Structure 1
Amino acid sequence: MTLPSQQASLAWTYHAHNATLDVVFFGNFISPSGWVGWGINPTTAEMTGTRSLISFPDPNTGQLVLLPYILDPTVKLQKAPLLSRPLDHIHLLTSSAKMYGGKLATIHDGAQVEIYATIKLSPNKTKIHVVWNRGVYVQGYSPTIHPTTINDLSSATTIDLLSGVARHENDLKTLKIVHGVMNGISWGVMLPIGIIMSRYLRHIEALGPTWFYVHAGMQLTGFFLGTIGFAIGLKLGELSPGKVYGLHRKLGFIAVCLGSLQTLALLFRPKTTNKYRKYWKSYHHFVGYACVVLGVVNVFQGFEAMEASRTYAKLAYCLCLSTLIGICIALEVNSWVVFCRKAEEEKLKRDGVITHPSSEKASGSFN
Structure 2
Amino acid sequence: MTHFSAVVLVLASSLLHCIEAQWQTCDAGFSFSATGMARNITHCRRLRTLGAELGMNYYNTTPNSTVDVVFSARLPTPQGWIAWGINPGRHPQMVGTRALIAFNRPSGMPMVGTYNVTADTRRGCKLEPSPIEVGVVNKEANYSGETGRLTMAARLTLPPEYNVSRLNHVWQVGPRVADMVPSAHARTLQNFDSTETIDLSSGVGHSRRHYNLGLREAHGILSVIGWGFLLPIGVIVSRYFRGSPIDSKMTWFYVHVTIQIVAFSIGVTAWGIGLSLMERSKRYRAFMGHRIIGILVVCLASLQMMALWLKPKRADKYRKYWNIYHHFVGYSLIALIIVNIFKGFAILKPPSGWKWAYIGILISLSCVALGLEISIWVKFYWNQKAEQQKASNLSKTSKS
TM-score, reference length from structure 1: 0.77
Q: Which 4+ runs in 1 deviate beyond 6 A?
A: 16-19, 57-60
Q: Please name the residue that 1:5 is paired with.
A: 49
Q: Tell me the distance in 2 between the aligned counterparts of 1:198 and 1:219.
A: 10
C-alpha change, 1:118 and 1:265, in structure 2 (3 Å) is farther
Q: Please name the residue that 2:341 is paired with.
A: 299
Amino acid at match of 2:252: W
Where 1:208 maps in the other structure, the secondary structure is coil
What count of residue pairs does the alignment treat as equivalent?
344
C-alpha change, 1:353 and 1:33, in structure 2 (3 Å) is closer
Match of 1:177 among 212, 217, 227: 217
Amino acid at match of 1:321: L
Higher alpha-carbon deviation: 225-234 or 341-350:
341-350
Q: Please name the residue that 2:375 is paired with.
A: 334
Q: Please name the residue that 1:361 is paired with.
A: none
User: Over the residues paired in the alignment, what is the CA RMSD in angstroms?
Assistant: 3.7
C-alpha change, 1:192 and 1:160, in structure 2 (3 Å) is same
Q: Tell me the distance in 2 between the aligned counterparts of 1:135 and 1:185.
A: 36
Where 1:203 maps in the other structure, the secondary structure is coil
C-alpha change, 1:327 and 1:82, in structure 2 (3 Å) is closer
Give 1:117 shift.
1.9
Give 1:159 shift.
1.7
C-alpha change, 1:35 and 1:349, in structure 2 (3 Å) is closer
CA deviation digits over 1:214-260, x for unaligned, max 9? Answer: 11111111011011122223444556765654544443233222212
The answer on whether the counterparts of 1:194 and 1:215 sit within 8 Å (CA) in structure 2 is: yes
C-alpha change, 1:226 and 1:39, in structure 2 (3 Å) is same
TM-score, reference length from structure 2: 0.71
Q: Please name the residue that 2:33 is paired with.
A: none
Match of 1:271 among 307, 310, 313: 313
The answer on whether the counterparts of 2:85 and 2:169 sit within 8 Å (CA) in structure 1 is: yes
1:158 has 2:158 as partner:
no
Q: Please name the residue that 1:167 is paired with.
A: 207
Give 1:182 shift.
1.4
1:190 has 2:230 as partner:
yes
The answer on whether the counterparts of 1:54 and 1:69 sit within 8 Å (CA) in structure 2 is: no
C-alpha change, 1:99 and 1:216, in structure 2 (3 Å) is same
Give 1:75 shift.
1.8
C-alpha change, 1:299 and 1:93, in structure 2 (3 Å) is closer
Where 2:156 maps in the other structure, the secondary structure is strand
Match of 1:27 among 64, 72, 75: 72
Give the alignment of 1:103-252 within 5 angstroms: 110-120=149-159, 122=161, 126-141=165-180, 143-148=181-186, 150=188, 153-154=191-192, 156-161=194-199, 162=202, 164-167=204-207, 169=209, 172-204=212-244, 206-237=247-278, 244-252=286-294
C-alpha change, 1:29 and 1:202, in structure 2 (3 Å) is closer
Amino acid at match of 2:312: P
Higher alpha-carbon deviation: 244-253 or 205-214:
244-253
The answer on whether the counterparts of 2:215 and 2:273 sit within 8 Å (CA) in structure 1 is: yes
Q: Tell me the distance in 2 between the aligned counterparts of 1:355 and 1:48.
A: 90
The answer on whether the counterparts of 1:4 and 1:168 sit within 8 Å (CA) in structure 2 is: no
CA deviation digits over 1:64-120, x for unaligned, max 9? Answer: 453342322x32332x43344455xxxx442135335xxxx6797633111332223
Amino acid at match of 1:306: L
The answer on whether the counterparts of 1:134 and 1:146 sit within 8 Å (CA) in structure 2 is: no
CA deviation digits over 1:296-351, x for unaligned, max 9? Answer: 3333333343334631x444433333332222122212212222222223333333
Q: Please name the residue that 1:365 is paired with.
A: none
C-alpha change, 1:44 and 1:222, in structure 2 (3 Å) is same
C-alpha change, 1:44 and 1:257, in structure 2 (3 Å) is farther
Q: Please name the residue that 1:364 is paired with.
A: none
Q: Can you give the 5+ residue segments of structure 1 that lack an aligned partner in the other structure?
A: 357-367
Identity across the alignment (%): 31
Amino acid at match of 2:188: I
**Structure exhibiting the larger radius of gyration computed from Cα positions:** 1
The answer on whether the counterparts of 2:112 and 2:152 sit within 8 Å (CA) in structure 1 is: no
Q: Tell me the distance in 2 between the aligned counterparts of 1:59 and 1:301.
A: 37
The answer on whether the counterparts of 1:9 and 1:27 sit within 8 Å (CA) in structure 2 is: yes
Amino acid at match of 1:46: Q
Give the alignment of 1:347-358 within 5 angstroms: 347-353=388-394
Where 1:48 maps in the other structure, the secondary structure is coil
Q: Tell me the distance in 1 between the aligned counterparts of 2:198 and 2:182.
A: 31
